Amino acid sequence: MTLGGLLFRIGAGLAVVAALTLGLWLYARGWAPARDQYPVQGVSISADNGQVDWGTLAAQGTDFAYIRAADAAGRRDPAFAANLRGVRAAGMRYGAMIDFSLCRQPSDQATSFMTTVPRDNAALPPVVRLAFDPGCKARPGRDQLLSDLNTLINLVEGQAGKPALLNVTEDFDKAYDIGSGINRTLWMDGNFFPPDYATKPWVMWTASDMRHIDGVDGPVRWNVVAP
């Protein structure tokens, strides 16, 4: 085989690989679990998603939305009020979420939530998201973590008037075994494959954190409810 022929074959092979990679990426962008398996599906939204066209989201079958109220740094989400108005106007179910921090007092975190989220009997249960924040290097012992988390949960639940859900990432759960430490409903993460890392069954699952859907710029966290 001539050098030119070899280079042609290598180039053709690379083109095939590039085409397959692009095809998989495009498939992943639009993928969601089948509705016959998971009838109730929705999104997590924050200021990071920019301006949201809630009517378009609702028209595409988005059943519910969780809206971030405060991040792990204690900042109230600047888009929360606008997103809350939008999701209500679209007629979707909605709830509020707070990102838990290992570096801040639980009472201070709860204050950020309570001063952002109005009391609302129509809202879904509040969510506390448990994920390691790259900006926080603290790693308290499990007993201290569970104590702090219980303080935050009790304050958030007092505001919401209903039990909270815990959205726990795999690495956080492996470090602290949240499922066996706190008796609350679990929401787990896992792109494309149902998660199995918790010590008890999950009720919600973030099936993809890369889905693109009309009405939102960029990827969204796409969540499903266990049937």
Average pLDDT over residues 106-117: 95
- If asked whether residues 179 and 208 sit together in one domain, one would say yes
As a whole number of angstroms, the distance between CA 133 and CA 103 comes to 9
- Residue 89's pLDDT band, with cuts at 50, 70 and 90, is very high
Per residue in 118-177, pLDDT (tens digit) is 999 999 999 999 999 999 999 999 999 999 999 999 999 999 999 999 999 999 999 999
Per cent of the chain over pLDDT 90 is 81
Same-domain status, 50 and 125: yes
Q: What is the mean pLDDT of the chain?
A: 89
pTM: 0.86
Residue found under tokens 């956080």 = 172
Residue 159's φ and ψ, nearest 5 degrees, are: -70, -45
Q: Are 63 and 41 in contact (CB under 8 A)?
A: yes
62-96 core/surface letters (b: 16 or more CB in 10 A; e: else): bbbbbbbbbbbebebbebbeebbebbeebebebbb
Domain that holds residue 210: 39-225
> What is the domain count for the chain?
2
Say if CB 210 and CB 174 are below 8 A apart.
Answer: no
What the block records as the tokens of 195 is 């998660």
pLDDT at 22: 44
CB 110 within 8 A of CB 96: no
Q: Please check whether residues 82 and 24 belong to one and the same domain.
A: no
Q: What is the CATH number of the domain that holds 120?
A: 3.20.20.80
Q: Note whether 138 and 64 are same-domain residues.
A: yes
Closest by alpha carbon to 140, among 109, 103, 177, 106? 103
Q: Are residues 24 and 98 in the same domain?
A: no
141 and 174 in a single domain? The answer is: yes
Residues 117 and 161 in one domain: yes
> What would the pLDDT profile of 178-204 be if each residue is shown by its tens digit?
999 999 999 999 999 999 998 889 999
What is the 3-state secondary structure of 105-133?
CHHHHHHHHHCCCCCCCCCCCCEEEECCC
CA-angle at 219, arms to 215 and 169, nearest 5°: 130
Same domain, 150 and 56: yes
Spatial distance between the Cα atoms of 121 and 191, rounded to a whole number of angstroms: 32
Query: Over the stretch 2-35, which tens digit does the pLDDT of each residue have?
Result: 656 655 455 545 544 444 444 454 456 789 999 9
Per the document, the length of the chain is 227
Average confidence (pLDDT) over 216-221: 91
pLDDT of residue 28: 63
Question: Do 57 and 151 sit in the same domain of this protein?
Answer: yes
Q: What's the CA gap between 52 and 70, in Å, rounded?
A: 18
Using alpha carbons, list the distances in angstroms from residue 33 to 4, 155, 180, 194. Answer: 46, 34, 28, 10
pLDDT at res. 211 = 93
- The three-class DSSP label of residue 187 is strand
Residues 97 and 205 in one domain: yes
Q: How far is CA 170 from CA 15, 177, 197, 201, in A?
A: 36, 10, 6, 14
For residues 161 and 195, state if they share a domain. Answer: yes
220 band by pLDDT with thresholds 50, 70 and 90 = very high
Looking at the fold, whether 160 and 208 belong to one and the same domain comes out as: yes
Mean pLDDT of 50-57: 95
